[in-house]
Structure 1
Amino acid sequence: MSPTVFQEKGFRFFFFSKEESRKHVHAYSGDGEAKFWLEPTTNWQ
């Protein structure tokens, strides 16, 4: 099961509950998919 966190402009953001411990989110659209890590955080200046 992959609960949807957010949907916007054709993108679906979701996560899998039994994945690795680093916090991340998956994004899916009709054109493809991606995985974004939320940790570690960085500060861009």
Structure 2
Amino acid sequence: MPTVFVQGQYRFYFFSREESRRHIHVSSSDGEMKVWLEPEITVAKVINLSEKEVNKILEIVKSRKEEIDEFWKKHFS
């Protein structure tokens, strides 16, 4: 489960042996979330996070998508 980055209370990471469609997992002390990165950034799953937190996480993912994509390529190639 490599960590891509930590921002504030959120840890952004991948599972090494999961589906091939690009996505990222996010966890905090409050809950967790899975975000699809393709074909566009969308919510795949949310557990115990408020709508405000979900929106904040989506903004972080959008602003750091290039970094996430590069990490994905390095990790899964």
TM-score (norm 1): 0.84
**Which structure is higher in RCO with an 8 Å CA cutoff and minimum separation 6?**
1
Partner of 2:73: none
Report percent identity of matched pairs. Answer: 59
Select the structure that is richer in helix: 2
More strand by share: 1
Read off the aligned partner of 1:39 and give its amino acid letter: E
Gaps of 5+ in 2: 42-77
Structure 1: tracts of 5 or more residues without a match: none
Total equivalences in the alignment? 41
